[in-house]
Amino acid sequence: MNAENPENFTPSGDLPPSPPTERLAALPSGEVVARPASPPSMDESRTPAELVEWALQKFVGQPIVMTSSFGMEGCMLMDLASKAIAKHDLPKLTIACIDTGFFYPETKQLQKKLVERYQNLDFVTWKSPVSIEQQAKSYGPNLWQYNPNLCCNIRKVQPMSENVVNYNLWITAVRRSQTKSRADTPVMGWDWRYQLLKFCPMVTLSRPEVWSYIQEHDVPFNQLHLQNFPSVSCFHCTKPVPGSSPESDARSGRWSNDDDKDECGLHYQI
């Protein structure tokens, strides 16, 4: 798949027409048999669970990756994917964590719980080619304090760019209400920067809906959400937001030293 011919995909988010529910195939012996019905077509009105089932069936056999920093949304999406895989007897889904080297201990603990619980997901770790020591030597100590965009680029965007080229479909837990940049995010769209399809089955959800799912299905989540952390990333930059709860949609604590920053650059260039 490439930018010039991404399997007839249009950037508007439309998908090619679904094939007939039943097609005929000829065996080497000449016998004609019916192929299995295709998964239902994708439509934004469908639930996230239905969308995940659709995508994992539609792109079965192709390289697919879901990225996550183990936020609450990502945990919900892993649960949906695991259930879809079990229901339809699908291959394992790769879950890629971009480890910046600055994760809270609670995030590491959550990662272990997720790995233990979801045996049909394949957890891998992507890291920056620049070590923390090399970064300090080249840019000075505490880069995140005076140039957080550059720090995010080195520790997140670079490993993303280097590894995601091996996949055709990128699944994320992005929601439209998270930031202004994400307000128009399509369920399915062509990502021109990384040159692959980007699938966001949770775009229409609110944070309270995510929290409700987490509780109802007993999904592991970062315990820092119970300590006034609406969102959790690197310990240098993420701070608690007084008065917040797991249902809070704010990202004001994500980069506590920069009130104008609300994106790390993975999804939107900064």
Q: Using CB atoms within 10 Å of the CB of residue 196, give its burial: 0 to 12 exposed, 13 to 18 middle, 19+ buried.
A: buried
Tokens of 26: 């000829």
Tokens of 126: 């992507």
CA–CA separation, 149 and 232 (whole Å): 17
| Tokens 């479909």, located at residue | 169
CA–CA separation, 103 and 71 (whole Å): 12
Confirm if 121 and 89 have CB atoms less than 8 A apart. no
- Distances in whole angstroms, Cα of residue 155 to Cα of each of 30, 81, 256, 259: 55, 27, 18, 20
For residue 212, count other CB atoms closer than 10 A to its CB: 15
Tokens of 232: 């959790």
Tokens of 266: 């993975």
Confirm if 67 and 172 have CB atoms less than 8 A apart. yes
Tokens of 97: 């964590």
Confirm if 110 and 199 have CB atoms less than 8 A apart. no
Q: Is residue 129 classed as helix, strand or coil in its secondary structure?
A: coil
CA–CA separation, 190 and 63 (whole Å): 16
Q: Which of 97, 151, 152, 264 is catalytic?
A: 264
Residue 152 falls in the annotated catalytic set? no
**Catalytic (active-site) positions:** 264
